[in-house]
A and B are shown apart, each in its own frame.
Chain A
Amino acid sequence: MGQKITIEPVTRVEGHGKVTIHLNNEGNIEQTRLHIVEFRGFERFVLGRPFWEMPVLVQRLCGICPVSHHLAAAKALDMIVGAGDGNDLTPTGEKMRRLMHYGQIFQSHTLHFFHLASPDLLFGIDADPVKRNVINIAAVNKDLAVQAVMMRKYGQEVIQATAGKKIHGTGAIPGGINKHLSDEERDFLIGGDDYMNIDKMIEWSQASVEFSKDYHKQHKDIIDGFIEFPSSYLSLVRKDGALDLYHGVLRAVDSDGKKILHDVDYREYYKYIDEEVRSWSYMKFPYLKEFGKKTGWYTVGPLARLNTIDFIDTPLAQKEFEVFRKYSNGKPSNRPMHHHWARLIEILHSAEKIKMLLNDPDLMEGELVTKGTKQDEGVGLIEAPRGTLFHHYKIDDNDQVVMANLIVSTTNNNQPMNEAVNQVAVKIMTGKSEITEGMMNAVEVAIRAYDPCLSCATHALGQMPLELTLYDANNNIIDRKIK
Chain B
Amino acid sequence: MSQFVRFTIDGTECMASKGQFIVEAAKENGIYIPTLCNYPGIKPKGGCRICTVRVNGKLMTACTTPVAEGMNIENDVKDIRELRKSIVELLLVEGNHFCPACEKSGNCELQALAYRFQIMVPRFPFQFPIRKVDASNPKIIKDQNRCIQCKRCIRAIKDEKGRSIFAYRKRSSSVEVVVDKKLGKQLTDELAQKAMDVCPVGSILVKEKGFIIPIGERKYDKKPIGSDIENMSVSKI
Contacts and interface: CB of A to CB of B under 8 A. Distances in A.
Contact of B133 (A48, A57, A174): A48
B208 A399 contact: yes
A52 B210 contact: yes
Nearest to A162: B214
A118 interface: no
B135 interface: yes
A50 B101 contact: no
Contact of A60 (B101, B210, B212): B101
Contact of B100 (A60, A81, A400): A60
A178 interface: yes
A168 B214 contact: no
Interface residues of A, number: 24
A37 B76 CA distance: 51
A81 B208 contact: yes
A399 B141 contact: yes
A370 to B, nearest CB: 13
B133 A399 contact: no
A170 B215 contact: yes
Interface string B197-228: 00000000101111111111000000000000
B233 interface: no
B103 A56 contact: yes
A169 B133 contact: no
B127 interface: no
A468 B226 CA distance: 55
A399 B212 contact: no
Given A164-B214, A165-B215, A52 B133 contact: no
Interface in A154-177: 163-165, 168-171, 173-174
A50 B207 contact: yes
A164 B101 contact: no
Given A398-B135, A400-B133, A53 B214 contact: no
Nearest to B134: A398
A241 to B, nearest CB: 35
Nearest to A169: B215
Interface residues on B, range: 10 to 19
Contacts of A50: 133, 135, 141, 205, 207, 210
B212 A178 contact: yes
A165 B210 CA distance: 17
Contacts of A56: 100-101, 103, 210-211
Contacts of A179: 214
Given A50-B205, A52-B103, A178 B214 contact: yes
Contacts of B135: 50, 398-400
Given A57-B101, A399-B135, A400-B135, A52 B208 contact: yes
Contacts of B100: 56-57, 60, 168
Contacts of A168: 100
A171 B208 contact: no
B208 A174 contact: yes
A179 B215 CA distance: 9
Contacts of B56: none
B101 A52 contact: no
A258 interface: no
A399 to B, nearest CB: 6
B136 interface: yes
Interface string A54-66: 0111001000000
Contacts of A400: 133, 135
Interface in B81-101: 100-101
B101 A53 contact: yes
Given A53-B210, A60-B100, A164 B216 contact: yes
Contacts of B133: 48-50, 400
Nearest to B101: A57
Interface string A168-193: 11110110001100000000000000
A286 B172 CA distance: 50
Contacts of B101: 49, 53, 56-57, 60
Nearest to B138: A398
A168 B205 CA distance: 21
A100 to B, nearest CB: 12
Nearest to A177: B214
Contacts of B207: 50, 399
Interface of A: 48-50, 52-53, 55-57, 60, 81, 163-165, 168-171, 173-174, 178-179, 398-400
15 contacts: A48-B133, A49-B133, A50-B135, A50-B207, A52-B208, A52-B210, A52-B211, A56-B210, A56-B211, A60-B101, A164-B214, A170-B214, A171-B214, A178-B212, A400-B133
Given A50-B141, A52-B103, 6 more contacts: A50-B210, A52-B209, A53-B103, A57-B100, A173-B210, A400-B133
